[in-house]
Structure 1
Amino acid sequence: MTDTRSKPRHRRRKTALVAGIPLALTAAGALAYSPVFGDDAQSTASAATAAVPAWATATADGFASVNALGQNGTYGGRDGQIVTVRTLADLEKYATAAEPYVIVVAATINMDPVGKEIKVQSNKTIVGSGTSGHIVGGGFFLGSGVHNVIIRNLTIRDAYQGVWNDKEHDFDGIQMDGAHHVWIDHNDLRHMADGLIDVRKDSTYVTVSWNKMSQDNKAFGIGWTDNVVTDITIHHNWIRETEQRNPSTDNAAHAHLYNNFLEDVAGTDITSSYGNYSRGATKMVLENSYFQGINNPVIKDSTATIVQKGNTFVGTSGRNESGGTAFDPKSYYAYTLDATANVPSLLKSGAGPRSSIGTTASTLAAAATTLTVAKDGSGQYTTVQAAVNAVPANNASRVVIQVKPGTYRELVKVPSNKPHVTIQGTGGSRKDTVIVYNNASGTPKPDGSGTYGTGGSATVAVEADDFQARNLTISNDFDEAAHTDIAQQAVALRTSADKVFLDGVIVSGDQDTLLVDTAAKEKLGRVYMTNSYVIGNVDFIFGRATAVIDKSVITLKKRYNGTSAGYVTAPSTAADRKGILIANSTVNGDVSAASFYLGRPWHAGGDASLDPQTTVRNTSLSSAIKSTPWTDMSGFSWKADRFAEYKNTGAGSGAASSDRPQLTDAQAANQEVADWLGDWTPTAA
């Protein structure tokens, strides 16, 4: 049965933290900086005690620093007020305003609809607060004539729609059409539906520096015009695991590329087709850049020019071209080259968002404690569990465990007396940092006290509230084929806590991959997963928690013997609670058509008082899903519980019937993500 009970809907009050202090005054020392609440912030400025932070008055280098087109360099919104935003409405309000602003993004902001690009107006600085500013599912658009804009220290990610070379969705991270004097600096741009950065239609006086660009088909395109006017500087960017446009530079009058690191990692799903490309009438100077594993690392059209100086090529193949005359960048601006040999290490440690940008001395003092983990001994700890053990019991504030790339074969448990823990991979991809083990339900414990059982088999077990994981893979690689004689449930991640936020992760296994549980039957446990992947085959999203899988990919996997058969969800929801919600996502995989159910009711221990619930809505279902997508379990009928769909698409979707319940619009209005999460708004920390 569907859940038609009337309950209040939870919605978010949209607020902004505003510091109404003109930076022109603070930079001159007339006022100090202090963020305060309220629209009357200007009147409280004289009580501030700290100097304006340097990042609020930072100016661009490279071509963005050149005095041209009536604009003397690029300094963004430094003459305006500092505004801290945490909602889409407030970000859009200030970014599209006519007045100058320094806009500090201090939360994860999800674009609605997916693919939305905020139309930024002139004289703006948009800067992430430390590493907490995330723009998810969309980006920014700078139209004709827009100028003096800084986009800095943000993570812009995950508008990907499941099609690699996507021709249908122009969902860019940052797109410029006819803008000038733009500085894009220290951002992490990845996994978008089209380009990460597009500099189009005569946009000029642009500098792109110290960014990480990854996990995308098209990294960075420049051009889309017959006019040869674009002047652009591209320096100290780490471009990895991108197929094309790294960048593609078409009809640029002056393109200066230096100290960039282009990397194609062997053995991954992404293979570069080319690196730096000088097209049309482009004049390019390419200096002290490092190319590793790139196919066709430097190419040019017959009409274009490339002058190469001091570049290094390791494991590259194919075209590596230069020729013609270009220009002397130092006739436009001053710059200093780093040694080419130092570029990989320099960018791995220095590209992307910085904790020191977008924050003040007071916020830095209150910032999270950070612990580092590295297998090679370069961190504080060599295992993730050792870092968890170092978190003080009953800690009152956030502890971030930063895990460097590598495979960590270990069991990790975050006990209930260690809340506010974040485990975060620091690599360019969620595949770079892997926590993996291979226990199954039937695996004997080493002390001879029996077997682990399903819950005990988890590679990572989270029992502490307010836990977060991001940018990593959690896996259980139990070998089913080699151990057919024991119980094969093998959990990758078990959560039995409230306010668990899984952001940009992969959770991978076979049977019982992701166990979303609660500390006890009578306790609430909420889980929010977004921009992530869950991989498995039998009951691989299961448990009694109130769990949301949002804007994610659920990948169906064949059994160890090559057969296709399985169940996506097995909820064991308590009565009068919300169960499992899959929303705005994709269900697919290399399995046979009509071989998987969306779910079945798990009455754990034969408990007839449970009322299992799965809702799948606004999600693309592949042909692998059966036309009758729900089934019974252990003598309990799915029709006696709560299973329903709403406005799903794809070959595996279907019309309403007695075997395929569909929510009405009124029912769906009470089964949205916010209804599941209640008073909790997941925010990156």
Structure 2
Amino acid sequence: MKKTLLTFYFLLISFSALLYAQKNKTAYDIVVAADGSGNYTKVQDAFNAVPDNNSKRTVIFVKPGVYKEKLKLTSGKKNVSLIGESYKNTILTYDDYAEIAGGTSKSFSVLIEANDFFAENITFENTISSELPQYKKGGQAVALMVNGDRVIFHNCKMSGFQDTFYLKANKRTYIKDCIIDGTTDFIFGAGIALFENCVIQCRKDSYITAGNHEAGKSKYGFVFKDCVIMKYPKADISKVSLGRPWGAGANTVFIHSYEESIIIPEGWSIWSKDPENKVYDNWKTSFYAEYDCFGPGSDTDKRISWSKQLNKVEVSEYTKEKIFAANTTTANKLEGDWNPVIEKDKCNSVLPSKKAKNADSNFEKAFN
């Protein structure tokens, strides 16, 4: 009897320990830590460890730190989640630029080629400044480049100067509760992208977007909803354009967004003032529009004649489901409709009240 009770006691302890271990089992498949306390010290090693063509999601947690690496998640590494503690202390950075990298597309700090990638609480950074001498010789410096489809960035920061965020392919990306900063054309490419509740910070008098969409092939391009367009802290600027057409079908729309006084009265710009430039006529086939924007830079009285103010019927077409439907483009064959949902999204709106004073904002991003 005594032996039986002792055996039962040990079994009970073992079972309790197992339950405790299961309850506290980490939700991460791979941990990256610069101090050696994780599975790897480098993010690229974690990317390389992801099985090719994996149908199961691989979750990588990156502990706080500054990771200076030129990173590439190849197309076979599907279904990866990259999670940091906070974009303020988990930073992926590099300092490449077009002249030495061999072109803008090779200047990235981070390249995401895989489908179904998700990033949260991460800063993607390129530190090459437009003030450096080499800028004049090809200083385009991409912080983050996306070639995959169905990609999500939540509560992240994309920071750089010229060409910060390159949505290269005509594929779908959802950007929510993020900060994006830069100087010239710092959100650019041919992607189908929805930016929701984001802060767009301009570092100099230049252009925010440069769409490279093909004419007549995509219903949607870059869509900004409930965003704040403002100057970078302490930047001395006053003439920022919402965008210019790199491609003949450039497509950019701002919906219910706050625009500081830095936005030029015309709103938008042509690519080049030289009629001999091969992209001079791109404005004729591009689509630039706004709806219900507010703030001191939102006055539409002097907007260029070829931009548009949407009406209620037209703006009703700009839902997440419709933007990311597979049939909205003929420039690329997309796989299925997509309606991304971010779980446990507790971020607050970054928009100031419309009832607030109609002056430049003096507020910080409203989420951590």
Normalising to structure 2: TM-score of the pair? 0.77
Structure with more of its chain in strand, by fraction: 1
Residue 584 (1) aligns with residue 222 (2): no
CA distance in 2, matches of 1:683, 1:636: 39
Query: Gaps (5+ residues) in structure 1?
Result: 1-53, 56-353, 358-363, 444-450, 519-523, 559-564, 604-609
* Residue type at the aligned position of 1:407: V
**1:559-597 CA deviation, whole Å, 9 max, x = no partner?**
xxxxxx211111111333121001111000144564110
Within 5 Å, give how 1:180-219 maps onto structure 2: none
Map 1:224-235; keep pairs closer than 5 Å: none
Show the 5 A alignment for 1:369-518: 370-426=29-85, 429-443=86-100, 451-480=101-130, 481-518=132-169
User: Alpha-carbon deviation of 1:486?
Assistant: 2.3
Quickly say closer, same or farther: Cα 1:517–1:355, change in 2 above 3 A.
farther
Q: Are 1:601 and 1:636, in contact at CA under 8 Å, matched by a contact in 2?
A: no
Q: Find the partner of 2:299 among 640, 651, 654.
A: 654
CA RMSD of aligned residues (A): 2.3
Write the distance in 1 (CA, Å) between the matches of 2:340 and 2:23: 23
When residues 387 and 589 of structure 1 are mapped into structure 2, their CA distance, relative to the original with a 3 A threshold, is same
Letter aligned with residue 626 of structure 1: I
Partner of 1:550: 196
Q: Quick check: 2:203–2:237 contact (8 Å CA) kept in 1?
A: no
**CA separation in 1, counterparts of 2:155 and 2:162?**
22
| Paired amino acid for 1:404 | K
Residue 197 of structure 2 contacts residue 227 of structure 2 at CA under 8 Å; is this kept in 1? Answer: yes
Provide the identity percentage.
33
Q: Does 1:534 find its partner at 2:180? A: yes
Q: What secondary structure does 1:392 align onto? A: coil
CA contact (8 A) 1:439 1:478 kept: yes
- 1:409-451 per-residue CA deviation (whole Å, 9 max, x = no partner) reads 001100000110111112xx311100000001111xxxxxxx4
Conserved? CA contact 1:630–1:659, under 8 Å:
no
Equivalent-residue separation in structure 2 for 1:476 and 1:664 (angstroms): 38
Q: From the CA coordinates, give the structure whose radius of gyration is larger.
A: 1
Contact 1:592/1:624 (8 A) holds in 2: no
* Dislocated runs of 4+, deviation >3 Å: 354-357, 590-594
Q: Is the partner of 1:623 in helix, strand or coil?
A: coil
Amino acid at match of 2:209: T
User: In the alignment, is residue 600 of structure 1 matched against residue 244 of structure 2?
Assistant: yes
**Helix, strand or coil: the match of 1:534?**
strand
Quick check: 1:508–1:535 contact (8 Å CA) kept in 2? yes
Alignment of 1:43-54 (within 5 A): none
Aligned partner letter, 1:581: V
Are 1:573 and 2:213 matched, yes or no?
A: yes
Which structure carries more relative contact order (alpha carbon 8 Å, separation 6+)? Answer: 2
Pick from 320, 343, 346: which aligns with 1:673?
A: 320
Amino acid of the structure 2 residue aligned with 1:681: N
Q: Give the helix-richer structure, 1 or 2.
A: 2
The 1:592/1:629 distance shift into structure 2, 3 A limit, reads farther
Distance 2:227 2:136 in 1: 36
Q: Cα distance, 1:655 vs. partner?
A: 2.5
Aligned to 1:83: none
Q: TM-score, normalised by structure 1?
A: 0.42
Cα distance in structure 2, aligned partners of 1:587 and 1:485: 27
Give the match's secondary structure for 1:616. strand
Match of 1:200 in 2: none
SS in 1 for 2:269: coil
Unpaired segments ≥5 residues, structure 2: 1-18, 272-278, 326-336, 344-368
1:643 aligns with 2:285: no
Letter in 2 for 1:514: F
Q: Deviations over 1:294-328 (max 9, x none)?
A: xxxxxxxxxxxxxxxxxxxxxxxxxxxxxxxxxxx
Q: What is the number of equivalent residue pairs in this alignment? A: 300
3-state SS of 2:217 partner? coil
* Contact 2:265/2:300, CA 8 A, preserved across alignment: no
In 1, the alpha carbon distance for the partners of 2:157 and 2:227 equals 14
Asked whether the 8 Å contact 1:617–1:645 carries over to 2, the reply is yes
CA contact (8 A) 2:129 2:161 kept: no
Alpha-carbon distance change, 600 to 371 in structure 1, aligned in 2, over 3 angstroms: same
